Structure 1
C-alpha cells in the first residue's frame, strides 16, 4: 500500500452500515444523521514513515488493523443501536424493495388524498433537487422520531445514498440526506411554516423541492425567515401566524350561499320598492310648494332636453331594467368571487386508485388467511401469527379471513371497516368471517357473510375489550394478538344458526370526488338567505318611508306658514300620472288648501267665493264622505274608489284655488296641456294632438310655455293622459284627459265651468 492509498471499510451492525472517513494526520471525520455512513481510511505519508521508509512493516499492520477495526467499531455501535423490532425490519425491507424498482413509491392506502396516479408528478418534482431522491408517500404513523428511523432503516436496506423524503397524506413529515449535500432540514422547516394546513402533499413536496434547489446557504436563510415570520416567540407560542387556507369547507360554502341570497334579495328589492316611492314623495313635496317661474337657465335646459320628463311607463321600464341588471351583477360577482369547487387539494382518484389496495389484500388472502400490511408496523410476532393461523384453520363454522390493514379516512372505504370488508368479500367471493384489525388504531371489526352465526351477536354483542382494547397502552401493538385470540374463542362459542346469516348492512363508502366537491353556490342556504334578504329589504324600506314621511310633514307645515305661491308659478306633475299618484296628490292638495284658506280672513268677496267653490267641489270629488260629516271642509281622507279622472279634477280645483289665494287673480284658466300644472301664464301656438298637425293657440303654464316655445310640434307629449278603464293597477291604457268621463274635460273652458260641471256630476245645486 502506497502513500495516499484508500482502504474502504464497511462494518455491518444491527443499525446498518457503519463507517467513517478518517484522514490520518488531521482526524477529519464525516458522520451523517441516521447512522454512520460508509467511508474510507486513508493513510498519508507521515504514517508510512513511522513504520520505516521501506514500508515493510506498514502492510502487515494495515492488514491487522483491517481485521480488528470492524470488531472495535461494531462493539459500541451494537451497544448504542439496539436491534430494531423484526416487524420494522420487514417494513423497511418491503419499502426498500419498492424503491429499488422506482425511486418514488406512493402507497395505495391514500387514494382520497394522494392517489397512486400522482406518482409521475412526484417523480417529476424529485428530479429538480439535483441529487438522487427517494420519495415514500405513506399513511401517517406517528412521531417524527419514528419517521426518521424509518428513513434510516430504508436507506440501510436499499444501500443507495441520496435524499430520502417521507410524505404523508398532508405534507412532508421527514427528510434525511445520506451521502449527499442537501438542506433537507431547512426545506422541511420552510414547507411546514409557509404552507397552510390544507396545501396537500403534492404542493408541500413542491415547496420542499424548491428550497432544496436553492442551495444550503439560501435554504438556511429561507428557513430562518420562515421561522421569524410564522413561528410564535412567546413561552406559550404567542405570535404564531397561521397561513391563510387555500380551500374552504362546506360550512364556508353554506355561509357564502346564505350571504349571496341576502344580497341578491336586498339590493334589487330595495330599488324596486324605493324608486317609485321616492319619486312619488318627490312629486308630493314639489306639489305642496309650487316652484318659482323658470329662469333663463331653465329655458336653456328645456331647449337642450328636446322633450319632456320621462313618462311613468318609461320610468317603470328603467326601474325594471336597473333591477334586472343589479340582480345579474350580484349573481355574476358572487359567482366569480366564490369560485371554489372543492374543499381539498387532493386530485380526483382513478378507478384503479380506488381498487388497488383491495386487490392487493385479496391477493394476499388467497395465499394466506391472515394478511399483514407490509407498509404498517408489524404488531404480531411470528409465534402469534402461527397461533392465529392455527385457530383460523380449526374454526368449524366456515372460513375466517383476517386483514391487519389500517382503516384511514383517506383510503378507498373512507375508514369504514365494514365497507372495506364488503369490498374484500365481493372480490374474494367466498363466505366466511372477515376480520379487519387496524394495526395503527388497534380497533377490530368483525363482519360475517353467509355464516351460521347470529348476525346480531356479531353486530352488537362483541365485547368492547375485543373491539377496542386498552387504547392507552400502545407499547405492545394494542395487544392485537391477545385480542384476536379472544375473538376466535368468542366465535367458537357463538350459537349456531340456520340458515346462514350476514351481519353487513351493505353501506357503500362515499364517492371520493363528490365527498370533496363543494355544494353549488345557488343551493342549500341560498334560499333561506333570499327570505332573510327580502325581510331585510322590507325593514329598510319601512325605515326610509318613515323618515321621508317625517320630512314631508315638516315640509308641508313649512309651506302653510305664511308662504303661499307667488305670481308666475306652475305646479309640477307628470304627463301620465298613476292612480296612486293622483290619490296622494289629491290628499295633499286638499289638506294644503284647507290649511291656507281662512274663511274669516279679509278677502274680496269674489275671491273668497272662488276659493270656497274650489275647495268645496274638490271635496265633493275626492272626499265626499268627509264633506258629508264635516261641512266646514275635508277631513283628510280620500276615498279609495274615486276614479282617476275625478281625482285629477280634484287636484286641478285645489291647485287653482291655492294659486288664486296666493295671487288674488281668478281670471286665469288652467294649463290646457296639463290642468294639474295650475294656472296658465300665457298663450302659445302648439300641436295639441299627435294625429293633428294643426297648431292651436292654447293657454299654458310657465313650464309648458318654455317647452312649447322651443318645440311647438311636440307639445302634445306634455298633454295629460289618465289611466283608462280596465283591469290592472293603472287601467287598460292611457286616455287624454279631455276624453275621460266626468267633469275634468270642462277644465279647458275655465274654472267656473269646471265647478259647475262638478256640482252637476255630484248632484249638488
Structure 2
C-alpha cells in the first residue's frame, strides 16, 4: 500500500469519526421523544387524527375534557376543515407548534389553539380563512372573562363571515376598544358581598324612610310655607293611618324580590362544573404511565429531557432503589396549573398519585413549563422534613441560567436531586409526609354565595343607620331653609283680608268692593284697639288718615273714586291693619300692590320690551315667577280699568310712589290734599 493511499484512508476514518461524534452530540442534545413519532407535535397530530378536536385533561377547572363535543359543534360553523387543540397557555408554543402539527398530520385546514381563557393562535393551511382578523375580534369584542368556549364561538362566527367582513369587523372592534373596553360578564365573590350588603341596607332603609318621610313631609311643607298644618279632622286630607305602614311593609317585601331579579348571577365563571371523570383523567393517565416507567413526561408539553438524560435518570433511580434505606422513585414531568385538578399544588398532586399508584416511594414533581421541582416522601426511611425544607434552591427553582434555558436545565437538576437523595439521612422507621392542605372544591369553586348570606344581615343594621341619617339630614336641611325664609318674609297677616293673589286686570267693582272691606276693617280694628302704654307707632293712624283724605273724609264717596284712589285706599288699609297687629308691612309688591306685602328684593323685568331689569320689592309669588319664568313677569303687573288701553298702575301720579314704600305713599296723599 502506497503512502498516498494510506493517507487517504486515514483521512476517511477521521472524517467518519468526526461525523459520528457530531451525531452522538446531536442525539445527546435532542430531547427525549425527538424522534419523528415522539414529539409534542407528533403526539398532538396523532390525537387530531383520531378526532379533529382535542381537549387536554389538564384544565378540568376551566375547560373540562367533557367539553370536547361543545368545541366540535362550534368548529363545524367555520365552513372549512378545522382542527382544534385546547391546551394550557404555556404549553402552546404558538405558530411554530401549529406548523409542526400540520406537517405531521398531513391535512390542510384551519388549525386553532385554545388555552384556558381564549383563542390564542390560529393558522390556515391550504384553505381561505381570516384567522388573524378573527383573533382580533375575539380580543377586542369580548371581555377577558367571557371564557374560551364563548370566544371560540365568536372566532368561528367571524371566520364564517369571510375575509372582507371579518377585516371590517376587526377594524371596528379595534376602534371601539380604544375608547370603550368591553364590560366584564361575571362578578366575583367580593362583588356578591357588596350586593348582599346593599340588599340588606335597602330592605330596612326603604321602609324606614317611608314611615318617617310621609308624616315628616307634611310637617316640612307647613314649615316652608310659614304656617302650622291644620289639625281639624274634618278638613284633614291625610291618608288613613294604615296606608303608610302598609306601603312600608310592601316595600320591605318587594326589595328582596327586586334584588334577586337584579343580582341574578349564580356563578363567577363561564366554565361548567367538572365531573369526577374530568378531575381524575390526568391523574389516571400519569399513574398508568408511572406503573410502566418510573419517569413520566407529559406528551402534551414541550420535551425537556434528552434521551441521554432519561437514560442517566433511570440508572440513578435503579441505583437509589438498591441502596440502603432507599426505594422506588417516581418522577412526574407534568405541568402544575391553577386550573388542574390539584389547583397547581404539587403536594396534593403527589399525594393523589401515591393513592392512585398504591406504591410507597419518593414522588418527584417536575414542572416542564415553569421548571419547579418538588420532592415528597411516602413510606421510605428518609427524613421527610429534610426533603421538604433542606432541598437546595438551585434544585427546586434553578438559577438564572436555568430560567433562561428552554428546558430549565431540568435534566441536570434532576441528576443533582438524585445525588441529594443518595446523601439524605435515613431514619429507623419509614416516614410519610402529612396530609396536604385541602384545595378548593373544583365543583363548587365558581358558585357565588347566596344574596341573602352572611353579608346580608349586617346590611340590615346598616340600613337602619342609613335611613335615620338620611331623615336627619333632610330634616336639618328643611329647618335651615325654613329659618332663612322666615327671615326674608314677614308672617302672613290675614288670609281673609290680605290675599296673596289678586287680579292683574281687576274690574272697578272688584277694586271698589275690596277698598270698602279693607277700609271698614281698618276703622273697626283701630277703634277697638286698646291703648298700649308707651306705644309710639303712628302708622295705623297715619294710614287711616291718608285713606280718608283720599275720600275727603267721607267713606261713602268710594262709589265715585277712580281706580288709582281705590288701589291706594286698599294698600293703605292693609298696611294700617298690619301695623295694628305689630306686623311688618313697610312695602308692598312693586309688581302688583294688591298682592300684599313684599318679602324680598329681586331683579325683575316688568316690561315686554327690552331686557332691562330693575331691583324691586316683590311678593313670594312674583319672586318665584321672576326666577322660574322671568320673561312672563310683566304679565303680572297691575293695570287699572277705566282707560283704553288699560294703563299700568305706575303711570298713575298717585300710585307711582308705591315702590318707594308705604310711608312715601302717605306723604304723597298728604301732598295731594295740601296737608302738612
Would you call these one fold, judging by a TM-score over 0.5?
yes
Q: Does 1:412 align with 2:317?
A: no
Instruction: Tell whether 2:432 aligns with 1:485.
Output: no
Match of 2:460 in 1: 530
- Partner SS for 1:500: strand
Other structure's SS at 1:516 match: coil
Would the alpha carbon gap of residues 284 and 358 (structure 1) be closer, same or farther in structure 2, given more than 3 Å must change? same
Structure 2: gaps (5+ residues): 1-28, 498-528, 533-580, 582-676
Partner of 2:13 in structure 1? none
- Paired residue for 1:340? 265
Is the CA contact (8 Å cut-off) linking 2:362 and 2:376 kept in structure 1? yes
* Correspondent of 2:250 among 325, 328, 331: 325
Q: Does 1:248 align with 2:187?
A: yes
- Is 2:368 aligned against 1:439? yes
Report if aligned partners of 1:285, 1:555 keep a CA contact under 8 Å in 2.
yes
Secondary structure of the residue that 1:246 maps to in structure 2?
A: coil
1:99 is matched with which residue?
48
Is the Cα–Cα contact under 8 Å of residues 295 and 330 in structure 2 kept in the other structure?
yes
Q: How does 1:289-688 map to 2 (within 5 A)?
A: 314-315=240-241, 317-395=242-320, 396=323, 397-470=326-399, 473-548=403-478, 563=493, 602=530
Give, in whole Å, the separation in 2 of the partners of 1:444 and 1:512. Answer: 24
Task: Give the equivalent residue in structure 2 for 1:181.
Answer: 128
Task: Tell me how many residue pairs correspond in the alignment.
Answer: 467
TM-fit CA distance, 1:168: 0.8
60, 67, 71: which one pairs with 1:122? Answer: 71
Against the structure 1 CA distance between its residues 562 and 263, is the aligned structure 2 distance closer, same or farther, given a 3 Å change threshold? closer
1:149 aligns with 2:96: yes
Find the counterpart in structure 2 of residue 268 from structure 1.
Answer: 207
CA distance in 1, matches of 2:398, 2:430: 29
Quote the offset at 1:263 in angstroms.
2.8
Contact 1:289 1:565 in 2 (8 A): no
Pair 1:131 & 2:84 matched: no
Structure 2 CA distance for partners of 1:87 and 1:172, relative to 1, 3 Å: farther
Could you say what secondary structure the match of 2:414 adopts? helix
Under a length normalisation based on structure 1, what TM-score does the superposition of the two structures give?
0.56
- Residue 421 of structure 1 deviates from its aligned partner by 0.9
**What is the root-mean-square deviation in Å for CA atoms of aligned residues?**
3.4
On the 8 A contact 1:447/1:504 being kept in 2, the answer is no
Q: CA deviation at 1:566?
A: 7.9
Q: 1:520 to 1:488 in 2, by over 3 A?
A: same
**Relative to structure 1, is the Cα distance of residues 290 and 325 closer, same or farther in structure 2, using a 3 angstrom cutoff?**
closer
Q: String of CA shifts for 1:586-633, please: whole Å, max 9, x gaps.
A: xxxxxxxxxxxxxxx9499xxxxxxxxxxxxxxxxxxxxxxxxxxxxx
Correspondence for 1:167: 114
Output the CA distance in 1 between the equivalents of 2:122 and 2:215: 69
* Change beyond 3 A, Cα 1:550–1:193: closer
Give the Cα separation in 2 of the matches to 1:562 and 1:134. 88
Query: 1:725 maps to what in 2?
Result: none
Does 322-331 or 422-431 show the bigger shift?
322-331
| Distance in 1, Cα, partners of 2:408 & 2:485 | 85
Identify if the C-alpha distance between structure 1 residues 564 and 116 changes in structure 2 by more than 3 Å, giving closer, same or farther.
Answer: same
* Alpha-carbon offset, residue 261 of structure 1: 2.8
Q: TM-score, normalised by structure 2?
A: 0.63
The structural deviation recorded for 1:383 is: 0.6
Alpha-carbon distance between aligned partners in 2 of 1:270 and 1:249, rounded to the nearest angstrom: 31
Question: Partners in 1 of 2:229 and 2:426 — Cα distance?
Answer: 102
* 1:292, distance to aligned residue in structure 2 (A): 12
Paired residues of 1:458 and 1:503 also in contact (CA < 8 A):
no
Residues 373, 405 of structure 1: 8 Å contact kept = yes
Q: Do the aligned partners of 1:99 and 1:105 also contact (CA within 8 Å) in 2? A: yes
Q: Which runs of 5+ in 1 are unaligned?
A: 1-82, 231-238, 303-307, 568-600, 605-661, 663-765
Alignment CA distance shift 1:190-1:544 (3 Å): closer
When residues 430 and 94 of structure 1 are mapped into structure 2, their CA distance, relative to the original with a 3 A threshold, is same
The answer on whether the counterparts of 2:395 and 2:413 sit within 8 Å (CA) in structure 1 is yes
Inter-partner Cα distance in structure 1 for 2:229 and 2:121? 84
SS of equivalent residue, structure 2 residue 60: coil
User: 1:458 Cα deviation (Å)?
Assistant: 2.2
**Contact map agreement 2:226 2:482 (CA 8 A) in 1:** no
SS in 1 for 2:206: helix
Structure 2 vs 1, CA of residues 274 and 502 (structure 1 numbering), >3 Å: closer, same or farther? same
The CA distance in 2 between the partners of 1:141 and 1:201, in whole Å, is 15
